[in-house]
Amino acid sequence: MSIKSSWSRVHRSSATHHGFQKDLGTFSLTLLTLGGIMGSGLFMASGLVIKRAGPSALILYAIGACAMYLEISALGEMSIASPTPGSFLNYTRMVLGPGWTFVAGWIFWFSSVLTMSSEVTAASLFSGLWFPEIPLWIWSLAYSLFIISVNFVSVRGFGTVEDIMAGVKTIAVLLFLVLGTLAVTHALPMTPPSVASLGFRTFLTHGGWLPQGWLGTLPAFLLVLFAYAGTGVIGLAAAETKNPKKTIAPSIRWTTGLISVMYIGSIILILNLVPWNHMSSSVSPFVLAVRASVLPYGASIMNLVLLFAVLSTMNAALYSNVRVLYGLARANQAPRALGKLNAKGIPGNAIWMSAGLLALTIILAFVLPHKAYGYLVTATGFQAMFIWLMVLLTQIYYRPYLEHYHPDRLTYRLWGFPFTSYLVMAIVIMGLLASPLTQSEFVGAIVGFAGIVFAWLAWLFVRRRPASATPPGSG
């Protein structure tokens, strides 16, 4: 089938699709996207990055911010031109075919479940700071049940809960930037005083900018890119926005601006407040930084905020992956039952399927409580970056079609196309290739790669099934 006929079918069905509620505005979409991006990748994995890369972590996070802006702009370009349920998977099907759609869709779903797994594991670690005697798997079970329940609320109710959680962590990080700046400039007392007195000299001590050398630094880059993952929610929510053309573009600007300031600013302050070689794999670097201050109960308050933060990301990840399952089912690439909406306009069956795989995380937290997070975060990052590659590859083929047949729909464009698209793909490939160079990330990288191979093998098995009469995104 040609791209043009595929376009007609998708948009004809999209125009008549009334199953999803269209309740998300710019503010809610921005907070939902912030919730999808800003999670344990910043609040927990950043400690692992700094521990491996030293002060050069700042360079990695700056490169990651640029890559995130370009990738989310590529996704936004397609989503504004064609705001359909299923997001980039619809466009992938049109320009690359059903095989790529099948693989990308199932990897997106698996990656989102792994994101949920890493976030709930981080939440359990944060809770363990207060109650170390309670096993991690109990916390994982409790938080999983809570997030699953939230996603059975109406879209408006879900958006309200996500607004609160994403708002709390956004305000908290901005407050951290203010207090951290006061501490670095000696306006806020520190303990011990010698830590604050180092200031920017921490960038030159303990081995300088590259204490581990480039070969020791580059493997941490995948964890940096993982911290910026979660952008897909902005495309998946496009069909549930009040006015995609007026909602998505400003949401992209607000999201990229806030994320860049908060991420890079936080890394600068953490490096100034805590020597890089003092980082821990079980305590957030934000908590370590606040501990250095004389604020009463500062570390506990920050730990509580971080708990909200990772639960917010877990919530947004579940929102994303159930909508991907819905799109796959409508394209006859997943069981048809997953393509049904309940009375509230929510794909309930897809939620339960995601919850089933999430249960495996609880088992992992029980069997490997001290290694679960490290394995999960690397595997998640590996597959999340594969999705970035798919988004960019799709946009490279989809943009010329839009320019030729529907230029009026290109109201938002990725600047520098196609060079910027290829640039981000090169950055992502570098992160993927460097990840297995360290033993601590090797297992997670193997799991992530195995998931991609398994998805392709599954496609070879199911590709002979008859095509669905219902196009993806129809209702």
| pLDDT for residue 159 | 62
Cis peptide before 192 (omega within 30 of 0): yes
Confidence (pLDDT) at 429: 93
- Asked if residue 53 is part of any domain, the answer here is yes
Question: How far apart are alpha carbons 313 and 465 in whole angstroms?
Answer: 35
pLDDT for 1: 47
| Distance from C-alpha of 343 to C-alpha of 189, rounded to nearest angstrom | 56
**pLDDT score recorded for residue 392:** 93
* CB-CB neighbours of 194 under 10 Å: 8
- 442 vs 439: CA distance, rounded Å: 5
Q: Report yes or no on 472 lying in a domain.
A: no
Instruction: Answer yes or no: is 36 within a domain.
Output: yes
Residue 261 lies in a domain: yes
pLDDT value of residue 468: 45
Task: Map residue 134 onto helix, strand or coil.
Answer: coil
Q: Judge whether 199 lies within some domain.
A: yes
Reported pTM: 0.80
Domain that holds residue 158: 21-462
Q: Please give the full DSSP string across 262-329, using - where no structure is assigned.
A: HHHHHHHHHHHHS-GGG--SSS-HHHHHHHTB--TTHHHHHHHHHHHHHHHHHHHHHHHHHHHHHHHH
pLDDT of residue 257: 92
Q: What is the pLDDT of residue 470?
A: 42
Written as one letter, the residue type at 115 is T
In a domain, 96, yes or no: yes
Beta-strand (E) ranges in 150-286? none
- CA 42 – CA 57 distance, rounded (Å): 12
Along the 475 residues of the chain, how does pLDDT read in single tens digits?
455 545 555 554 444 444 555 556 777 778 778 877 887 788 888 888 888 888 889 999 999 999 999 999 998 898 888 777 666 777 888 888 888 888 888 888 888 887 788 788 888 888 887 888 888 788 888 888 888 887 777 666 666 666 777 778 788 888 888 888 887 777 766 655 444 445 556 666 666 677 777 777 888 888 899 889 878 777 666 666 767 777 888 888 898 999 999 999 999 988 888 888 788 777 788 888 887 766 667 778 888 888 888 887 787 778 777 877 887 887 778 888 887 877 777 777 888 888 877 777 677 666 665 666 667 777 878 888 988 999 999 999 999 988 888 888 888 899 899 999 999 999 999 988 887 777 666 777 787 888 888 888 888 887 765 544 443 333 3
> What pLDDT sits at residue 475?
33
**pLDDT of res. 449:** 82
Nearest to 64 by CA among 45, 88, 91: 45
- CATH code (residue 157): 1.20.1740.10
Could you give the number of structural domains in the chain?
1
Residue 128 lies in a domain: yes
What does the alpha-carbon distance between residue 30 and residue 125 come to, in Å, rounded to a whole number?
A: 27
On whether residue 3 sits in a domain, the answer given is no
pLDDT value of residue 469: 40
> How far apart, in Å, are the Cα atoms of 22 and each of 30, 102, 153, 243, 465?
15, 27, 15, 9, 33
